[in-house]
């Protein structure tokens, strides 16, 4: 069997698939090796109990870049799109947020929210432009880098003096201060705070949470949707695009190491003992796994290895899957509301207090939760008349004090269910099976260090020019022949495809 | 005797040899060296210098930073750390080496003693534990800071071999430069290495602190007839410049202490290309140094033989370009060399200036009866160390 390739992609996460497809289209002979049985990485649909399936990690689509859709001609079928966010209130007076409008608040709050959303989407558009190109290097004379930098400066200036100042004021700030300056309604403040901190190890008062909020908006202005068949169908579509472009995809083939000989990558060894040759190895794995485990720190230089080992990548979001024999009752919701995105984040302080224990390695006694019922619009996921609930629960620190033992998980599940029960009194009666994935589980199932969605915390010191670390921000590692194409690379996590697409473009343009 | 540091100790530390050095001290001129008191000079800096060149000078190098590096990956670890090929340094040998950051900028230079198979000691002027520890990521190796656990003396000068021989150290005649051996000293193991900072015949003795004073006494007793003298930094510094050796913070700034870009130096810029082995697939700074080699360096370290007899301390260096003198660099170390009878200096110039044989100019200021004078002195770039006597390399060494 021919085992020589132009490029080997380690990991068939959505970014790996996008990258491989684009490389194959440019005439490369590409092999993708995936450890799991299924392609998609954290964007997969799988059965969690007999008859019930769910998007096992990422569960909402809100960042898939139009450039990626266009390049690969994706026509993702959606079960729900442009979902309303319903911020639950115990008394049934919920808020409904959608594209800058909010129902259930004072006239003043509504007006403020409109203005806030307008400004934030404007800022996020500025960021989005940079999400679809490799970040420029600083201190170089490279024409492309200078152009990109110049463009960044120009775009900032084009905001106008006041807006530019506002952008510069906000970009390092925390979301809590901004929402308390603007809004009155606690539910509204809580809802915005939740969007800013979801998937991070940050609380609303942590600096940098405006950036994470903008990052979320930079996908599609915050519009969320659920693909028919779950997130796995996006990955399957990407895998199909890759295969049609000539990519060979091998699943259930974990890579043991990236082979470095004479200071450069020459191929990969699989756990099963197979060897594949390629002078280009592109890792969809997170930077820590790539450098520390697959390559081995001794093949890197000390400063670089130290920076990678110090990457902050400790997840704090758990994933809960419930099999339900019927929809739980939520006061104040109509039937069709179950198709929407439902959140539990009653106040900005609630979110911060949920984060507090996580700083000290404890899980939240009153967690914040993002809930969807994907089966409501998608019969393929659960038996007829039955339902699936998919929820992201924060905070559940990766390095929990005493570790995520079975007892600790059972205890946290109880906490989550009692939180849910405040809004859905009959939830427990409907549960026929459940699955809780802590960051530790997410790490082992999806092979991401620390179980962190973004592979590396999305903060200014690990962002743009320095993502994941100084010396590897342009997809190329300082080890000849090795590249990154996953969430740990610019721009970051979320099912966006941007990192994969940028990596492919950076690789191809380097060859020219 | 201070061997274990008092956790709230505020004052300067005393080395294990302090009681003896103090007895020989008339001047009471001390400075701080990494927390320890170290003498500038004991009775007369110039006479102490002549002890190095004509008899034997003994300098207490106990404050020198020492790390013990052991473990299955020790060699591989060092090979990634430093620029030269450590696989070639067999047990019983010592290597002068530099280590760089990822940008190929020198963090420090030092000596690496291959004590026994797979067991090393790294010595340098500065402390580097954080960097050495960071460099262990991915290696099975242990780093122990052992500065306080080892007392050490530099015994340098033409009669040094005779003195150690008279002390009863066996097998020393076969010890080559950059070799080391373990010998017995009054029932305790002592390491003797043929190394030093003077470019003369000389040795360094390494022993546990509890035996330090006994060693000193035995050494000075044996040296009585051989012009043995305790010396201070002043004398050593002069010998160092004659040898053309580098000093951190003088010829280069440690890269991790440098704030401004362009103020650190690469080994290529310091004239240490012979220490950089590009055949090794990976070492810290390799990529950057390969790139520098391709593009050309910014700076060049030079050894200068300067006209006149006025040391060119801190002088600017000029080159003639199109008939005009243009400033191209500066002096880092300068001295009148008594043994060479030469006005010598080390300096930094902008590459491609500074090739051996280049004729440059230095602007020397000196004071005479309060008034300042300035001369433009011709300076020749030289290739070889100013002082490098055959006795330094002779094995067996001569019985001076």
**B81 vs A: CB within 8 A:** yes
- In this prediction, residues B166-187 reach a mean pLDDT of 96
- Do A305 and A248 have their domain in common? yes
Do B288 and B302 reside in the same domain of the chain? no
* Residue A327 sits in the same domain as residue A420: yes
A240: left (phi over 0), alpha (psi -120 to 50) or beta: alpha
**A468 preceded by a cis bond (ω within 30 of 0):** yes
B55/B175 same-domain check: yes
Query: Is residue A54, in this structure, part of any structural domain at all?
Result: no
The last residue of one of the domains, among A201, A220, A239, is: A220
Do the Cβ atoms of A230 and A374 come closer than 8 Å?
yes
Dig out the tokens for A301 from the structure.
């230089």
CATH of the domain at B359: 2.40.30.110
Predicted local confidence at residue B339, as pLDDT: 96
Same domain (yes/no): B95, B215: no
Domain identity same for B54 and B156: yes
- Alpha carbon distance B24, B228 (integer Å): 12
* CB contact residues (below 8 A), chain B span 263-292, against chain A: 281-287
Q: Tell me whether residue A87 is in a domain.
A: no
| pLDDT tens-digit readout, A381-401 | 999 999 999 999 999 999 999
Tokens of B189: 């193991």
Helix A498-511 with A14-25: angle, nearest 10 deg: 30
A57 lies in a domain?
no
Residue B1 lies in a domain: no
pLDDT tens column, A159-196: 999 999 999 999 999 999 999 999 999 999 999 999 99
In contact, A511 and A287? CB cutoff 8 Å: no
In angstroms, rounded to a whole number, what is the distance separating the alpha carbons of residues B180 and B164?
14
Could you tell me which residues come within 8 angstroms of residue A344 by beta carbon, excluding any fewer than 6 positions away? A88, A367, A368, A369, A371, A419, A420, A423
Q: B129 and B82 in one domain?
A: yes
Residue A152 has pLDDT above 90, yes or no: no
In chain A, what residues touch B81 (CB-CB under 8 Å)?
302
Which residues of chain B make contact with A263, given a CB cutoff of 8 A?
Answer: 281-282, 286
State both tokens at B288.
């950057």
Distance from CA of B81 to the nearest CA of A (A): 8
User: Which residues have C-beta within 8 Å of that of residue B270, sequence separation ≥ 6?
Assistant: B98, B106, B246, B251, B252, B301
Q: What residues in B contact A259, CB-CB < 8 Å?
A: none
Specify whether the CB–CB gap between B248 and B109 falls below 8 A.
yes
For position B132, what pLDDT does the model report?
A: 98
| Residue A134 pLDDT | 86
Among B73, B134, B282, beta carbon nearest to A306: B134
Side-chain-side CA neighbours of A16 within 13 Å: the count stands at 30
Q: Does residue A347 lie in a domain region?
A: yes
- Residues B163 and B103 reside in one and the same domain: no
Q: Are A319 and A372 in contact (CB under 8 A)?
A: no
- For chain B, give the percent of residues with pLDDT over 70: 98
pTM above threshold 0.90: yes
Q: Which of A263, A264, A302 sits opposite B135 (nearest CB)?
A: A302
Summarize the confidence of residues B312-341 as an average pLDDT: 95
Neighbouring C-beta atoms of residue A149, cutoff 10 Å: 17
CA distances from A88 to A327, A341, A420, B11, B31 (A): 16, 10, 10, 65, 71
Give yes or no: residues A373 and A348 share one domain: yes
Q: Which residues of B touch A297 (CB under 8 A)?
A: 137-139
Q: Which residues pair with B363 in a beta bridge?
A: B376
**Quick one: average pLDDT of A148-161?**
88
Say whether both B57 and B191 belong to one domain: yes
B283: domain CATH number is: 3.30.70.1400
Domain check: are B26 and B158 in the same one? yes
Nearest to A369 by CA among A185, A216, A197: A197
Given a cut of 90, whether residue A1 has pLDDT beyond it is no
Domain count, chain B: 3
The mean pLDDT of B273-293, rounded to a whole number, is: 97
Q: Is residue A90 part of a domain?
A: no
Answer with the one of A407, A431, A446 that is the final residue of a domain.
Answer: A446
pLDDT digits (tens, 9 = 90+) for A50-98: 999 999 999 999 999 999 999 999 999 999 999 999 999 999 999 999 9
Backbone angles phi, psi at B145, to 5 degrees: -80, 115
d(CA A512, CA B37): 61
Domain containing B22: what range? Answer: 18-62+150-243
Query: Helix, strand, coil proportions of chain B in percent (round to 5)?
Result: 25, 35, 40
**Is the CB of residue A498 less than 8 Å from the CB of residue A299?**
no
B134 and A302 within 8 Å at the Cβ level: the answer is yes
Is A88 inside a domain boundary? no
- pLDDT at residue A149 is higher than 90: no
Are A323 and A441 within one domain? Answer: yes
Same domain for A484 and A378?
Answer: no
**Closest-CA residue in chain B for A299?**
B282
Same domain, A188 and A118: yes
Q: Give the tens place of pLDDT for each residue, A339-353.
A: 999 999 999 999 999
pLDDT 10s digits, B5-60: 556 667 899 999 999 999 999 999 999 999 999 999 999 999 999 999 999 999 99
Looking at the structure of chain A, the number of domains it has is 3
| Residues A108, A205 share a domain | yes
B323 and B201 in one domain?
no
Domain match, B188 and B224 both: yes
CATH of the domain at B200: 3.30.1360.120
Tell me which H or E stretch contains A182. helix A175-182
Residues B127 and B275 in one domain: yes
B361 and B285 assigned to the same domain: no
Mean pLDDT of A128-154: 85
Report if residue A48 sits inside a domain: no
Mean pLDDT, rounded, of chain B: 95
- Whether residues A354 and A324 fall in one domain: yes
User: Does the pLDDT at position B217 exceed 60?
Assistant: yes
Average pLDDT value for residue range A404-416: 97
Residues A106 and A207 in one domain: yes
Same domain, A203 and A255: no
Q: Which of A413, A430, A446 is the last residue of a domain?
A: A446
Strand ranges across the sheet with A341-344: A101-103, A95-98, A85-87, A341-344, A368-372, A387-394, A317-324, A431-437
Q: Which domain, by its residues, includes A201?
A: 98-220
The reported pLDDT for the residue numbered B1 is 47
A456, part of any domain: yes
Is residue A248 located within the same domain as residue A394? no
Do A377 and A499 reside in the same domain of the chain? no
Place of tokens 């900032």: A156
pLDDT tens sequence across B229-239: 999 999 999 99
């Amino acid at each position: 069997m021919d085992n020589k390739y132009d490029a080997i992609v380690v990991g068939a996460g959505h970014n790996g698939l996008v990258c491989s497809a684009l490389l194959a289209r440019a005439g490369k002979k590409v092999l993708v090796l995936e450890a799991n049985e299924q392609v998609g990485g954290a964007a997969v649909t799988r059965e969690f109990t007999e008859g019930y399936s769910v998007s096992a990690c990422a569960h909402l689509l809100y960042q898939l870049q139009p450039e990626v859709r266009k390049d690969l001609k994706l026509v993702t079928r959606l079960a729900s799109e442009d979902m309303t966010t319903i911020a639950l209130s115990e008394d049934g007076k919920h808020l409904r947020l959608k594209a800058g409008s909010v129902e259930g608040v004072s006239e003043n709050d509504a007006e403020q929210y409109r203005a806030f959303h307008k400004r934030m989407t404007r800022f996020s558009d500025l960021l989005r432009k940079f999400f679809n190109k490799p970040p420029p290097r600083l201190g170089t004379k490279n024409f492309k880098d200078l152009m990109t930098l110049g463009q960044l400066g120009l775009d900032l200036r084009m905001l106008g003096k006041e807006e530019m100042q506002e952008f510069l004021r906000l970009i390092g700030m925390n979301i809590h201060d901004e929402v308390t300056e603007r809004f009155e309604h606690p539910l509204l403040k809580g809802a915005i705070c939740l969007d800013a901190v979801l998937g991070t190890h940050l609380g609303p008062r942590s600096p940098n949470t405006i950036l994470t909020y903008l990052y979320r908006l930079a996908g599609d202005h915050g519009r969320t949707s659920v693909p028919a068949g779950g997130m796995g169908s996006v990955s399957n579509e990407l895998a199909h695009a890759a295969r049609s472009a000539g990519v060979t995809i091998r699943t259930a083939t974990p890579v043991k190491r990236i082979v470095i000989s004479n200071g450069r990558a020459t191929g990969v060894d699989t756990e099963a003992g197979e060897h594949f040759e390629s002078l280009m190895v592109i890792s969809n794995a997170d930077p820590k796994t790539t450098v520390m485990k697959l390559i081995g720190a001794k093949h890197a230089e000390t400063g670089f290895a130290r920076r990678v080992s110090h990457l902050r990548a400790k997840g704090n979001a758990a994933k809960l899957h419930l099999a339900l024999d019927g929809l739980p009752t939520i006061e104040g919701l109509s039937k069709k509301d179950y198709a929407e995105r439902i959140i539990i984040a009653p106040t900005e302080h609630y979110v911060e207090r949920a984060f507090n224990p996580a700083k000290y390695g404890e899980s939240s006694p009153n967690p914040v939760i993002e809930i969807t019922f994907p089966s409501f619009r998608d019969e393929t996921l659960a038996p007829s008349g039955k339902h699936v609930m998919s929820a992201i629960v924060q905070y559940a620190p990766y390095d929990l004090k005493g570790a995520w033992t079975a007892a600790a998980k059972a205890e946290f599940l109880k906490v989550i269910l009692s939180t849910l029960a405040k809004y859905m009194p009959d939830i427990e009666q409907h549960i026929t099976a459940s699955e809780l994935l802590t960051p530790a589980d997410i790490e082992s199932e999806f092979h991401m260090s620390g179980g962190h969605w973004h592979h590396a915390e999305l903060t200014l010191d690990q962002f743009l020019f320095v993502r994941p670390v100084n010396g590897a921000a342009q997809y190329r590692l300082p080890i000849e022949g090795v590249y990154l194409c996953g969430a740990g690379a610019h721009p970051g996590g979320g099912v966006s495809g941007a990192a994969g697409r940028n990596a492919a473009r950076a690789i191809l343009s380097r060859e020219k | 005797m201070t061997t274990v540091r008092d956790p709230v100790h505020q004052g300067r530390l005393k080395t294990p040899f302090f009681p003896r050095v103090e007895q020989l001290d008339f001047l009471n001129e001390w400075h701080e060296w990494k927390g320890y008191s170290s003498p500038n000079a004991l009775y007369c800096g110039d006479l102490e210098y002549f002890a190095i060149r004509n008899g034997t000078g003994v300098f207490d190098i106990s404050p020198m930073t020492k790390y013990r590096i052991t473990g299955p990956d020790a060699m591989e670890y060092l090979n990634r750390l430093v620029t030269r090929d450590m696989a070639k340094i067999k047990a019983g040998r010592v290597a002068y080496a530099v280590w760089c950051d990822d940008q190929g900028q020198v963090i420090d230079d030092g000596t690496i003693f291959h004590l026994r198979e797979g067991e090393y000691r790294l010595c340098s002027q500065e402390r580097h534990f954080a960097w050495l520890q960071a460099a262990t990521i991915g290696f099975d190796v242990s780093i122990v800071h052992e500065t306080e656990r080892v007392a050490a003396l530099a015994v340098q000068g033409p009669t040094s071999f005779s003195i150690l021989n008279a002390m009863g150290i066996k097998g020393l005649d076969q010890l080559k430069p950059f070799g080391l051996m373990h010998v017995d000293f009054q029932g305790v193991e002592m390491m003797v290495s043929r190394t030093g900072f003077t470019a003369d015949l000389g040795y360094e003795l390494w022993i546990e602190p509890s035996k330090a004073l006994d060693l000193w006494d035995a050494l000075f007793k044996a040296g009585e007839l051989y012009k043995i003298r305790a010396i201070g930094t002043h004398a050593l510094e002069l010998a160092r410049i004659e040898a053309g050796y580098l000093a951190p913070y003088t010829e280069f700034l440690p890269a991790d202490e440098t704030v401004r870009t362009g103020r650190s130096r690469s080994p290529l810029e310091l004239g240490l290309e012979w220490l950089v082995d590009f055949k090794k697939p990976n070492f810290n700074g390799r990529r950057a140094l390969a790139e520098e080699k391709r593009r050309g360096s910014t700076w060049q370290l030079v050894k200068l033989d300067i006209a006149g007899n006025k040391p060119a301390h801190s002088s600017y260096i000029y080159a003639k370009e199109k008939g005009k003198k243009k400033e191209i660099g500066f002096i880092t170390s300068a001295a009148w060399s008594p043994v060479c009878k030469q006005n010598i200096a080390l300096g930094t110039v902008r590459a491609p200036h500074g090739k051996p044989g280049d004729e440059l100019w230095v602007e020397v200021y000196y004071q005479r009866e309060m008034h300042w004078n300035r001369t433009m002195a011709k300076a020749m770039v030289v290739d070889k160390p100013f002082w490098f006597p055959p006795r330094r390399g002779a094995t067996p060494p001569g019985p001076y």
